[in-house]
Amino acid sequence: MTRRRIFHLVLVFLLAVSNLVITAAAPRPSHPRIVALLSTDAAGYREHLERFQDRISAPVEAVVLPADREALAGRLQADPPDLILALGGSAAGWAAKLDPPLPVVFSMVYEPAAEGLPAGPRQCGLALKVSPATTLKALQALRPGERKLRLGALHDQKADGRELAELEGALQTAGYSLIVQEVPAAGQLGESLQSLLPRIDVLWILFEPSLIPGEEELRENVLRPSMDAKVAVIGLSDGHVQIGALMAVSVDFRREGEHAARLAERVLAGEAPAKIGIEPPENVIWSLNLNVAREIGWEVPPLARKRFERIYP
């Protein structure tokens, strides 16, 4: 082998080693990339996302689910993020159907399994639902030892009835009964409520969005007539208590964002979403409206006040 040939081989070898060193030293992204997909731009979603961003050690791009979902799917597939945080049922359901699939952590979903969102190979998440047995403890704190309260609920005739059956079961176990008023259609909500109010002391709001689609409708069509009739209302959220429900046991959306961040970190670290599954809420709060209590003639025991984290005067 000639000297020229040896020199040429040595030079090729050195160049190859140099390329390997340069490649190894090339900067790599220091953090995974996360896309937060929001069902709507509602305040609760933004509060949840804010705490998530405070907790997670990765950049987060927030996107409200657009009307042109095909374009969004194309963008995500062309430049796939390491993880999608899906907030709300609409965003979570859409993200779960992406093809090819991307890792998804969903949150702000009331009852994932009921909305077709079980845990799977590429998705896991959090449920917002608080059991009726837990809410009943708060009611019992307000009326300790009383079993004669007449409890009632409005039920959408077209709903599947699972929420109603769970509530009836929890109340029956605790020694209460429930008076149910069927609502044939949303337009007959007022008429159905007026039929129910004279027969009850407490109205328990069921999670049936088709019946009460928004807070304004709840305030005008349910909370105001109930207060006029001196009937206490058990709401579904802290927001319901702020606008006129007597009490609620619900999830602190903001603090639950930190819970979602911990799930996301586990997925990004390589843990299988199917192994994580669906976790119940950690940050449950008791809310009470003292002004409503005064209006309907309910005396709140001093010890009961200490049980509620959020009290509105």
Residue 118 shares a structural domain with residue 167: no
Q: What whole-number distance in Å separates Cα of residue 127 and Cα of residue 89?
A: 10
> Residue 194: CB partners within 8 Å, gap ≥ 6?
225
Identity of the residue numbered 276: I
For 145: left if phi > 0, alpha if psi spans -120 to 50, otherwise beta; the answer is: left
DSSP letter string over the chain?
--HHHHHHHHHHHHHHHHHHHHHHHS---SS--EEEEESS--HHHHHHHHHHHHH-SS-EEEEE--S-HHHHHHHHHHS--SEEEEESHHHHHHHHT-SS---EEEEEES-GGGGT---BTTEEEEE-PPPHHHHHHHHHHHSTT-----EEEEEETTS-SHHHHHHHHHHHHTT--EEEEEESSGGGHHHHHHHHGGG-SEEE--S-TTTS-SHHHHIIIIIHHHHHTT-EEE-SSHHHHHTT-SEEEEE-HHHHHHHHHHHHHHHHTT--HHHH-EE--S-EEEEEEHHHHHHHTPPPPHHHHTT-SEEE-
Query: Is 3 domain-assigned?
Result: no
Query: Tokens in use for 304?
Result: 């009961």
Contacts by 66-71, CB closer than 8 A, 24 or more apart: 69/94
Residue 144 shares a structural domain with residue 290: yes
Query: Is 1 domain-assigned?
Result: no
Residue 138 shares a structural domain with residue 247: yes
Residue 181 shares a structural domain with residue 170: yes
Overall residue count recorded for the chain in this entry: 313
How many CA atoms lie within 13 Å of 69's alpha carbon, on the beta-carbon side?
13
The position carrying tokens 């090729």 is: 12
Query: Is 26 domain-assigned?
Result: no
Q: From edge to edge, which strands make up the β-sheet containing 232-234?
A: 178-183, 151-156, 202-204, 232-234, 247-251, 284-289, 310-312
Residue 264 shares a structural domain with residue 141: no
How many domains does the chain contain in total?
A: 2
Query: Is 60 domain-assigned?
Result: yes
Bridge partners, residue 154, by sequence: 181
pLDDT of residue 191: 95
Query: Is 192 domain-assigned?
Result: yes
Residue 40 shares a structural domain with residue 76: yes
Residue 137 shares a structural domain with residue 232: yes
Q: pLDDT by residue for the chain (313 residues), tens digit each?
A: 555 554 444 444 444 444 443 333 334 446 799 999 999 999 999 999 999 999 998 899 999 999 899 999 999 999 999 999 999 999 999 999 999 999 999 999 999 988 899 889 999 999 999 999 999 999 999 998 777 899 999 999 998 899 999 999 999 999 999 999 999 987 899 999 999 999 999 999 999 988 887 889 999 999 999 999 999 999 999 999 999 999 999 999 999 999 999 999 999 999 999 999 999 999 999 999 999 999 999 999 999 999 999 999 8
pLDDT of residue 209: 85
The position carrying tokens 């704190």 is: 141
Residue 169 shares a structural domain with residue 291: yes
pLDDT of residue 30: 60
Query: Is 10 domain-assigned?
Result: no
pLDDT of residue 211: 86
> Residue 47: CB partners within 8 Å, gap ≥ 6?
253, 254, 257
Residue 228 shares a structural domain with residue 79: no
Q: Residue 145: which CATH number?
A: 3.40.50.2300
Query: Is 6 domain-assigned?
Result: no
Residue 145's alpha-carbon distances to 106, 140, 175, 286, in angstroms, are 40, 7, 11, 19
Q: What whole-number distance in Å separates Cα of residue 50 and Cα of residue 45?
A: 9
Q: What whole-number distance in Å separates Cα of residue 83 and Cα of residue 167?
A: 36
Residue 102 shares a structural domain with residue 115: yes
Say how far residue 244 (Cα) sits from the centre of its chain: 22
Residue 220 shares a structural domain with residue 301: yes
Residue-number span of the structural domain to which 44 is assigned: 34-127+253-282
